[in-house]
Chain A
Amino acid sequence: MYLLIVLLPAIGSFISGFFGRYLGKQGSMIVTTGSVLFSCIFSFIAFYEVGLAHSPVYIELMSWINSGFLNVNWGFQFDSLTVTMLIVVTVVSTLVHIYSIEYMYHDPHIPRFFSYLSLFTFFMLVLVTSNNFVQLFVGWEGVGVSSYLLINFWFTRIQANKSAMKAMIVNRVGDFALSLGIIGIYYIFKSLDFSTVFALSYLFYQKSFLFFNLEFDVITIIGILLFIGAVGKSAQIGLHTWLPDAMEGPTPVSALIHAATMVTAGVFLLLRSSPLLEYSSMTLFIITVIGSLTAFLAATTGVVQNDLKRVIAYSTCSQLGYMVFACGISCYSVSMFHLMNHAFFKALLFLSAGSVIHALSDEQDMRKMGGLAKVLPFTYTMILIGSLSLMGVPFLTGFYSKDVILELAYSSYHIHGNFAHWLGTISAFFTSFYSFRLIYLTFYGTNNSYRSIVEHAHDAPVIMIIPLSILCIGSIFVGYFTKDMMIGLGTDFWGNSLFTLPKNLILVESEFIPYYIKLIPVIFSIVGALLATLVYKYMSRGTYKFTSSPVGRIIYTHINRKWNFDIIYNEFIVKYILSFGYRISFKLFDRGFIEVIGPTGIVNSVKKVARTLSRVQSGMIYHYTFVFFIGVVLLSLVSSIDITYINPEYYIILVVILILNSIL
């Protein structure tokens, strides 16, 4: 059963991908959705057995690489962390499969789409269930490939192609660092199994080794390299530019990849490596700072985006920042808790946004929506619940994890905890601001879309209602139900899967921070929501004046262009790398030096020598006689030189070379 959890989506993907034309549209839908559904059911059983009944499962399937000290097996490890991820991945994936049945019904490439969706699920499951770093890397790259295929699903659109390439390439920057980190782990620990590496990690506390010929702390370097991998996958600041662009794929794809699964892989890696990261305070510091900066940057950017899906994408980016800095302050269980809650309400938000887009004939610009609450009451309810949950309104799912993260950051003993706390709190304000901006622009106010579109707008059909309802229930109740199990004081749910150094434990401290600090995030959220509603209801003229004033215009365009990250990258990195590729490595080296020294140069010089030499034969008899006599004289001279230790033939060769030289 445990292997079936992983393999069922692969089988579904294989059948739908290779035999989709025999199965037809409905057939491939049933096969893939059914296999993922069964995988989901088995995941729940596994969750009961492993998580609740405390019996981790460890399966060694077969040997993969076996060479000297390097032993890599195909192995699966189901501990509490894995089964929690399994629940998240399979539930969201199943619901997305079901949702896509209706949403993608009129698409001509149904078998391919469902095959890709299941393939993605399969690789995500490989990633979370592996028991060593190499197999984790298989899943890691696999979800990258699948995300490429899915973002590029409408391959006739140039924008989709470009976004898919961007997603793949930006991810590979992180993947490169991750593979370096894995190599570093092998170099230090002589093993790649999680169990071995994590059991040995304390032995390398404050040990140093040579990296780029400089001496560095072992665990810091490995931790930072692993973190850069996570930065790529989890869209943290620096490598976050691919995530908003990846909205070019169909909406269920955005819900699957960019809400619940792929971007959580980076956080999962940090959680999985917790026994390693704990021994380097430097790494934890960097993780906290990067995570909190991401939360802040993405939250502010989300405020002024006009694309419905882009707002949610930036919200994802921001929430991932929360998860990452929760890892940085050593609260791994809280990070995982937020990951799970976030998966539910973010999938709900994305799928509801898909419902809106579906209803409005694929219109994504929020400025062309408005007043849809009466037209799409169900979708409106869903998106409201999702947004309230995202804002951390008390007693909804988001509240239980998000506010705990902020409290923990405040009670951290390190200065970076405080930094993260304040950035996170400000981000909470922006989060609720853009959430209510989205709701206001889409559902309240006056309608700005075409009459013909609104006339045909209809609420979600029944197949889309089912996943939305389930996710809605999850968004309301999951946090409350699982809080004590996951982050309750003294919970033994996690067993050995997460590790925190005793000196970094702050779960108790966070209960005794000042009362007003606990209230601030909630107050900020509510103020943000009210402010957004008021601004967009009564002050639309004021916002227009602000954005058209000289200073406001600069601020607005700066943030609306995503803090100019894309421009900076294109102007200062991509352009130079491309021009290096053409001017230096292609024109100067490949077609330049190597050609001149290599084939073309040799051919040309031999031709030139031959042409010069053949010009010696002028056709004039007296020239021939001259060369002839000179030759005889030289030969006799050379052979008359008597240096016994050197062969006279060498002199002949030397003289010939000298003559040739002077002729040329």
Chain B
Amino acid sequence: MNLISYITLSTSIFIIGIWGIFLNRKNIIIMLMSIELMLLSINLNFIIFSIYLDDIVGQVFSLFILTVAAAESAIGLAILTVLYNVRGTVAVEFINLMKG
């Protein structure tokens, strides 16, 4: 199998996720989606290396990460709804009350 192309794919997805986080100025849901995308790319990475190295631990980890990602997005969406209840908007540029 061609390891380089697989890893390139997963890394590309990861970087797209990062860009999605800090180029995004409008919507916090896109931010959550980008985080999900990053977690997915990591999961993909784990699975690729688990196959490549012929080791089950990578797949075990990927299952854990799936669980964690699900929990995380659940909590994140919960916070988001609360935020919407309080502020009436979910635009990222308005979440700037805490300054140094």
Q: Which of B21, B24, B25, B97 has the most CB of A within 10 A?
A: B21
Interface of B is mostly: loop
Residue from the set A617, A620, A621 with the largest chain B CB neighbour count within 10 Å: A621
Give chain B nearest CB distance to A414 CB in angstroms.
86
Within 8 A of A (CB), among B6-58: 18, 21-25, 31
For the complex, is A645 an interface residue (Cβ under 8 Å from B)? no
Contact indicator B96/A622 (Cβ below 8 Å): no
Whole-angstrom CA separation of A626 from B22 in the bound complex: 6
Does A629 contact B100, Cβ atoms closer than 8 Å? no
Counting CB contacts under 8 A, is A156 at the interface?
Answer: no
Expressed in whole angstroms, the Cα–Cα distance for A629 and B92 within the complex equals 18
Q: Mark B88-100, 1 if CB is under 8 A from A, else 0.
A: 0000110111111
What is the CB-to-nearest-CB distance from A32 to chain B, in angstroms, rounded to a whole number? Answer: 77
- For B74-97 the 0/1 string (1 means CB < 8 A from A) is 000000000000000000110111
Q: Is the CB of A617 within 8 A of B92?
A: no
Give the contacting residue for A625; candidates B21, B95, B96; CB below 8 A: B21
Do B96 and A619 have beta carbons less than 8 Å apart? yes
A625 to B21, CA, bound (A): 7
Q: Establish whether residues B25 and A616, one from each chain, have CB atoms under 8 Å apart when the complex forms.
A: no
Q: Does residue A541 face the partner (Cβ distance < 8 Å to B)?
A: no
Task: Annotate A624-664 by CB proximity to B: 1 below 8 A, 0 otherwise.
Answer: 01100100000000000000000000000000000000000
- Docked complex Cα distance between A626 and B25 (Å): 12
Q: Which residues of A contact B21 (CB under 8 A)?
A: 622, 625
Say which residue of B22, B24, B31, B98 sits within 8 Å of A629 (CB atoms): B22
B22 in complex: contacting residue of A614, A615, A616, A622, CB < 8 Å: A622
CB pair A617 B25 closer than 8 Å: no
| A622–B99 touching, CB < 8 Å | no
A611 (CB) vs chain B CBs: closest residue: B100
**Chain B residues, Cβ within 8 Å of A626:** 22
Cross-chain contact of A619 among B18, B24, B97 (Cβ < 8 A): B97
Given known contacts A629-B18, A629-B22, is B92 in contact with A622 (CB within 8 Å)?
Answer: yes
Shortest B15–chain A CB gap in Å is: 10
Question: Nearest Cβ in chain A — how far from B92, in angstroms?
Answer: 6
A45 to chain B, nearest CB (A): 91
- Please, which residue of chain A has its CB at the minimum distance from the CB of B100? A617
**Min CB distance, B95 to chain A, in Å?**
6
Are B25 and A622 within 8 A (Cβ)? yes
When distances are taken between beta carbons in the complex, the residues of chain B under 8 Å from A614 are: 100
In contact, A622 and B24 (Cβ under 8 angstroms): yes
Interface centre among A613, A616, A618 (most CB of B within 10 A): A618
Q: How far is the CB of A608 from chain B (nearest CB, A)?
A: 15
Contacts of A618 in B (CB 8 A): 96, 99-100
When distances are taken between beta carbons in the complex, the residues of chain B under 8 Å from A613 are 100
> A615–B25 contact, CB under 8 A?
no
Complex CA gap A620/B95 in Å reads 7
- Contact between A616 and B100, CB atoms less than 8 A apart: yes
Tell me, in angstroms, the Cα distance from A2 to B64 when the chains sit together: 109
In the bound complex, CA of A138 to CA of B21 (Å): 85
**Alpha-carbon distance A543/B24, docked complex (angstroms):** 104
Known: A622-B21, A622-B25. A615 touches B96 (CB 8 A): no
Identify the closest chain B residue to A629 (Cβ): B18
Q: How far is the CB of B40 from chain A (nearest CB, A)?
A: 18
A626-B99 Cα distance, complex, nearest whole Å: 16
Among candidates A615, A616, A621, A629, residue contacting B95 with C-beta atoms closer than 8 Å: A621
Complex CA–CA separation, A626 to B18 (angstroms) = 9
Q: Which chain A residue has the least Cβ–Cβ distance from B98?
A: A619
> A622 to B12, alpha carbons, bound, how many Å?
20
Q: Do A619 and B92 have beta carbons less than 8 Å apart?
A: no
Residues of B within 8 Å of A619, CB to CB, are 95-100
Shortest Cβ distance from B22 into chain A, in angstroms?
4
| Closest chain B CB from A509 CB (angstroms) | 96
Smallest CB separation, A514 vs chain B (Å): 101
Interface string of A597-616 (1 = CB under 8 A from B): 00000000000000001111
Q: Of residues B23, B93, B95, B100, which shows the largest number of chain A Cβ atoms within 10 Å of its Cβ? A: B100
| A contact residues around B92 at 8 Å (CB) | 620-622
The CA of A618 and the CA of B31, in the complex, are separated in Å by 18
Let me know if B100 and A615 touch, CB within 8 A: yes
Q: Which residue of B lies closest to A627 (CB)?
A: B22
Closest residue of A by beta carbon distance from B18: A629
Nearest-CB residue, chain A, relative to B21: A625
Return B17 CB to nearest CB of chain A, in Å: 11
Residues of chain B lying within 8 A (CB to CB) of residue A615: 100
Q: For the complex, give the distance between the alpha carbons of A613 and B100 in Å.
A: 8
Cβ distance B37 to chain A, nearest Cβ, rounded Å: 14
Closest to A626 in B: B22
Residues on A with C-beta less than 8 A from B99 are: 617-619
Tell me how far the C-beta of B27 lies from the nearest C-beta in chain A, rounded to whole angstroms.
12
Q: In the docked arrangement, what's the CA distance between A615 and B100, Å?
A: 6
User: Beyond A614-B100, A615-B100, is A620–B18 a contact (Cβ under 8 Å)?
Assistant: no
Task: Tell me the complex Cα distance, A621–B94, Å.
Answer: 10
List of A residues within 8 angstroms of B23 by Cβ: 622
Is B97 in contact with A620, judged by CB distance below 8 angstroms? no
| Complex interface residues of chain A between 585 and 607 (CB less than 8 A to chain B) | none
**Which residues of chain A are near B22, meaning CB under 8 Å?**
622, 625-626, 629
In angstroms, Cα B25 to Cα A466, docked, is: 109
A319 and B25 CA atoms in complex are apart in Å by: 98
* Further contacts, 14 of them, CB under 8 A, given A619-B98, A620-B92, A629-B22: A615-B100, A616-B100, A617-B98, A618-B96, A618-B100, A619-B96, A620-B93, A621-B31, A621-B95, A621-B96, A622-B23, A622-B24, A625-B22, A629-B18
Chain A residues in the interface with B (C-beta under 8 A): 613-622, 625-626, 629
Q: List 21 A-B contacts (CB under 8 A).
A: A613-B100, A614-B100, A615-B100, A618-B96, A618-B99, A618-B100, A619-B95, A619-B97, A619-B98, A619-B99, A619-B100, A620-B96, A621-B95, A621-B96, A622-B21, A622-B23, A622-B24, A622-B25, A622-B92, A626-B22, A629-B18
Sorted nearest first, the 5 A-B pairs with minimum C-beta distance are A617-B100, A619-B96, A614-B100, A619-B99, A625-B22
